[in-house]
Amino acid sequence: MISWLASLFANPWMLAWLPAVAAPIIIHLWNRRRYREYDWAAMEFLLAALKKSSRRMRIEQLLLLLLRTALILLIVLALAEPFFGAIGAALVGGPRTHRVLVIDGSFSMAFRPAEKTLFEIAKQKAIDIVRASNEGDGFSLILMSETARPIISAAAFDREDVVEEITNLTLPHGGARLLPTVRSIEQVVGRVRNENKKLARSRIYFLTDLGRTTWADSSGAGQSSAELADALQRLAGQGEVDVVPLAASVGSPSATGPVNLAITDVRIPTAFATLRQPVDIEVGVAQWGGTSGTDAVVELLVDGARVDQQVARVEPGESAVTVPFTYQLTVPGEHQIEVRTSGDRLEVDNRRFLALPVKDQVRVLCVSGKKDSTTFVVLSLDPDHGRTSDSIVRADVVAESGLLDGDLSQYDCIFLCNVAQFTAREAAVLKRHLERGGGLVFFLGDQVRADRYNRQLGTAEEATGRILPGTIKQTVEADEDNFFGFDPLDYRHPLVKVWENNERAGLLQPNVLKYFRLELAGDAGDSAADERRADEAEVAVALAYENGDPAIVESRVGDGRVLIMTTAGSKSSVTRRAQGLRPWNYLSTNPSFPVLVQKLWRRAVSGRLNERNVAVFEPISGSLSDAGSEQPLSVLRPAFGGRSSQADRTVRITPDVGSAKWSFDETDQSGIYRVDHGDGAGQQLFAANVNTEESDLARIAVEDLPAGLTAQPSASEDSDVEAVVEAPPTPIRQSILWTAFALLFVEITFAWWLGNRQI
């Protein structure tokens, strides 16, 4: 009832004054009971006069009462501010429309042409459309973002609820995908049509800045454009589609858009940070729009404190300028790095974050399957054996049987050298290590039992670990007096990039006698499921033998990385030849070996940093310190959209029962997310950053919109929405007030005439 009244009146609570219309009648009756008494001699004349005048008097009194009652009624109505169109529609049942409000949620909508951002203007226009609509109209609300989120997917009829939803919208810091949005609109429109037959018409409003990044596909060529054009055409067939471009002041469509600076990248080239060495931080800065370059001031903030600043000359164009910073961290633990610039009207992409866990040293565990299997590896990892304070790696060595003895969570990387086999329990421990973002490097050798590897760590369904990127097959041995050399595969993989143009360093020197052939998942006619799994694991061959067999293969498992070298990492693995026992390879005595080992562990642990730093809308996740725990976690989101209080920004998540992992996908804002495990394990920091595709503020021309989409006049802060909504329900308060004034005048005149005409 209240919502129905709210659709008819702007201030329905004012109708509470309606009983006041009875006031004149009550006063009249009360006055009749309040009289003076007089003896009266000339009663005959009074009675005669009364007899003659009673009818006239009754009519006059009635008229006066009607006038006064109508006067109060009109004033109450005027205070309630009825909508003419709404009243008319309510009385006669006018056409009802399903209005779908689609608000562009790409972060370019955070552009601030004047006082308000485009997103704020869009919200206000959407509210105006809701308020200006007819009684009985239904509303749906969709935020066009990366995921095309329907905020109201059914038809809502309570305007105030819709207005509240619009008001509560916050702008995500992601892009906007038009095709999923159009499909989402189709679904919403179809469902509402099925559920509510009275909403015969549909009208869809796109409130957008017409950003080229979002809309380019709608006017372009290619498969996605054709698909989008089809979807838009279908949509246009279902109802009217209005595009309300926001703020013409953004720039002419043909231009490149206004000047916009953005931090495009913040990265640690070493992929890890320790207290032993200063951290190198590379910052990418780019400028879109404009014709001349900008001297961008780039600030570096560590844990919220500004520690460095540089000025970089940035020229317009898509290539970013790299600004290097170096900073020595002094405290181990979680650190947040923030890089800022300023000087434009779009602030979202002027900041970029990096969550950086820092340790005193990188801990590496080397598991030896045979005597001396790890000697050269340990030497390569920590040549000083921890004797100097500069060593960033501390390597511990255990025998094969000691894998389960220690706490693996303190190690960043585990080297498994010539380990013969793994138990199921060992495979599970390794799997968990990987899922936590740890690294795993395999060196095979003469102790290795391929069938056991494949059973516990392979890709087979029954395997416990499913760690290996493929299946270990038989060994391959070179002919007498021959060695296998390496094929660097054009140095495409980062692991071997350093040897490009450095062939004399000896990596490619043929010195391998024997290796295990590794058949990668997805090869050799494996099932589609295997291929999909291989894709998910991002299996990559970093180095191959000259015959094409993989020598070093990288894959992802959970948050961690696995690198497997199919030959031995020491000379302790031997093979019998005509000349006697010969090592599997002479790699460990190659000058490139220490470099290779360094590259391997750095590559293996890089997953840890990557998993802490995601793009907006990518989920953040991690392993539970206590697997299967149902202890809830709390995630403190970055401050945004006016939500500054910690309580407002905190989200509690409860892991699935029995799961070893937690995940949080509400990363629609850029910034630092603090995850508190609540069990004394402390906080973990995660950074979500914007995709700077949206930093290009150029927009498409209204004329380039696909057929079927009607472009409305550009809306700015001050423009109104009359053109957008047909038959706007006019507030008729002014007319009612004028009528009330006229009635007041008539009442006063009439009452005066009644009171004075005989005198």
Partner 1 sequence: MEANRKYLDPQMLAKLEGLELRAKRVIEGYVAGLHRSPYHGFSVEFAEHREYAPGDDLRYLDWKVYGRTDKYYLKQYEEETNLITYLLLDTSESMRYASNAASLSKLEYAKCVAASLAYLVLRQQDSVGMVTFDDQIRHLVRQSSNPSHIKQLLHVLEDATANRKTDTGRIFHDLAERLKKRGIVLIFSDLFDDVESMMTGLKHFRHRRHEVILFHLLDPAELDFPFRQTTKFIGLEELPDVVTDPRSLRKAYLEEVGQFVRAVQRGCRSNNIEYVQIRTDQSLEIALSAFLSKRMLHTA
Give the nearer residue to partner 1 in terms of CB position, either 68 or 603.
68
Of 191, 194, 205, nearest in space to 239 by CA: 205
Of 346, 414, 274, 304, nearest in space to 118 by CA: 346
Give the nearer residue to partner 1 in terms of CB position, either 16 or 46.
46
CB of 65 to partner 1, least distance (A): 13
Give the nearer residue to partner 1 in terms of CB position, either 14 or 751.
751
Give the nearer residue to partner 1 in terms of CB position, either 44 or 407.
44
Give the nearer residue to partner 1 in terms of CB position, either 33 or 387.
33
CB of 64 to partner 1, least distance (A): 10
CB of 33 to partner 1, least distance (A): 9
Give the nearer residue to partner 1 in terms of CB position, either 2 or 46.
46
CB of 32 to partner 1, least distance (A): 6
- Please give the helix or strand (H or E) that residue 375 lies within, else none: helix 375-381
CB of 60 to partner 1, least distance (A): 7
CB of 748 to partner 1, least distance (A): 16
Residue ranges with strand state E in 246-332: 260-267, 279-288, 294-302, 305-314, 317-327
CB of 746 to partner 1, least distance (A): 18
Amino acid at 379: L
Contact 435, 661 (CB under 8 A): yes
User: Which two structure tokens, joined as six digits, stand for 216?
Assistant: 């380019």
Give the nearer residue to partner 1 in terms of CB position, either 56 or 387.
56
Measure the CA dihedral 43/46/50/52, to 10°.
Answer: 120
SS3 label, residue 240: strand
CB of 35 to partner 1, least distance (A): 4
CB of 55 to partner 1, least distance (A): 11
Give the nearer residue to partner 1 in terms of CB position, either 16 or 48.
48
Give the nearer residue to partner 1 in terms of CB position, either 31 or 501.
31
Give the nearer residue to partner 1 in terms of CB position, either 1 or 35.
35
Of 496, 434, 494, 502, nearest in space to 465 by CA: 434
CB of 40 to partner 1, least distance (A): 4
SS3 label, residue 512: strand
Of 423, 483, 427, 472, nearest in space to 450 by CA: 472
Give the nearer residue to partner 1 in terms of CB position, either 67 or 408.
67
Give the nearer residue to partner 1 in terms of CB position, either 39 or 461.
39
| DSSP state for residue 116 in the 8-state scheme | S
Pairing of strands 439-443, 550-557: unpaired
Pairing of strands 470-477, 514-520: antiparallel
Residues within the interface to partner 1 (CB under 8 A): 31-32, 34-50, 52-53, 56-57, 60-61, 754-755, 757-759
Q: CA-CA distance, 98 to 417, in Å (whole number)? A: 67
Contact 82, 5 (CB under 8 A): no
Give the nearer residue to partner 1 in terms of CB position, either 23 or 43.
43
Contact 469, 530 (CB under 8 A): no
Of 21, 28, 22, nearest in space to 58 by CA: 28
CB of 756 to partner 1, least distance (A): 8
**Distance set, CA 81 to CA 9, 490, 739 (Å):** 5, 75, 14
Lateral strand order in the sheet of 260-267: 260-267, 279-288, 317-327
CB of 37 to partner 1, least distance (A): 5
Contact 636, 620 (CB under 8 A): no
304 alpha-carbon distance from chain centroid:
23
C-beta atoms surrounding 368 within 10 Å: 24
SS3 label, residue 253: coil
Give the nearer residue to partner 1 in terms of CB position, either 25 or 48.
48
Lateral strand order in the sheet of 613-615: 613-615, 683-689, 671-676, 633-636, 650-653
Angle, helices 118-132 vs 159-168, to 10°: value is 180
185 alpha-carbon distance from chain centroid:
20
CB of 57 to partner 1, least distance (A): 5
- Please give the helix or strand (H or E) that residue 474 lies within, else none: strand 470-477
CB of 63 to partner 1, least distance (A): 12
